[in-house]
Homo-oligomer: A and B are copies of this chain.
Amino acid sequence: MSLLVIGTVAFDAIETPFGKTDKIVGGAASYISLAASYFSKNINLVSVVGDDFSKDFLALLQTQGVNLEGLQIKKGEKSFFWAGKYHNDLNNRDTLDTQLNVLANFNPIVPELYQNCEFLMLGNLMPSLQLNVLAQLKKRPKLIVLDTMNFWMDIALDDLKKVIAQVDVLTINDSEARQLSGEYSLVKAAQKIIAMGPQTLIIKKGEHGALLFNKQEVFFAPALPLEEVFDPTGAGDSFAGGFIGYLAKTKDISADNMKRAIIYGSAMASFTVEKFGTERLIGLTQHDVENRVQQFLDLVQVDITLV
């Protein structure tokens, strides 16, 4: 099934306790597309870069089955750039530099061929741009997943609420769920957020796993304890990409299949953090992915017979 991905394709410079990079490829849509490409082979990207962007990475995306007709390449302009430094615990980071560049005047245009997409992933981006994309679709996709962050809750809450009201699945982290709902208990937070529109809320807790809430039930996907967490950048985007990629591949948006999709998303995120940037998401095999998923299943495997 066709999957439309909207989000940033950009450069990052990252510093973690384990090392430091120069400009490397980053951006929500880069991670989402790469992660999804291990499941779905009909991925359409809508984004913007400058003509300074990596030709090699674009070629790689195409090799992975990502269609770039919707990627605007702005002549003489520079790609969005973010530089950040992670604290020792890797759970917090400081932004060292943000250069919007091409993103400042980004007007996403969904090519006509993409306007009938069945799965839509709205990666983290200004909510007004996400609304703009939704308005361009000819029919409502079968499933819309939205990823966002506290930054937009702080400066564009009204627009964000309009987007949230139109989506099926919202993915945010635990502190964002608390901020958006005003509730400390994640169970209560989920009830309030689901009342805002999405039938499903996924709360990403990083090294502590992820929770899926819908009106009926709650599901928990653990995170794999890793020997080395090298760089958390893009973990949430890789999670979202694996999640929606799996759903698009299996064409099944039932709650049970979303549980499976969360495990696949978690597996993709667990790869991403093992190296800087998108490096670990390149060249994985089907076998690598399935092995990793098996590790997630083994992690919580317990045999209890209740009377």
Contacts and interface: CB of A to CB of B under 8 A. Distances in A.
Nearest to A227: B187
Is the interface on chain A under 10, 10 to 19, 20 to 34, or 35 or more residues? 35 or more
Interface string A176-207: 00000000111110000000000000000100
B293 A304 contact: yes
Given A88-B184, A185-B229, A307-B290, A300 B222 contact: yes
Given A89-B184, A205-B208, A304 B219 contact: no
Contacts of A208: 205, 208-209
A220 B17 CA distance: 26
Contact of A220 (B187, B256, B300): B300
A187 B226 contact: yes
A227 B187 CA distance: 5
A211 interface: yes
Q: Copy number of this protein in the oligomer?
A: 2
Contact of A211 (B225, B256, B290, B302): B225
A185 B227 contact: yes
Contacts of A298: 217
A263 interface: yes
A228 interface: yes
Interface string A272-299: 0000000000000000001001100111
A222 B296 CA distance: 13
Interface in A193-250: 205, 208-209, 211, 217-222, 225-229
A178 B221 CA distance: 24
B290 A297 contact: no
A22 interface: no
Please provide the 3 A-B residue pairs with the shortest distance between their CB atoms, ordered closest to farther.
A208-B208, A259-B302, A300-B300
Interface of A: 17, 88-90, 184-188, 205, 208-209, 211, 217-222, 225-229, 256, 259-260, 262-263, 290, 293-294, 297-304, 306-307
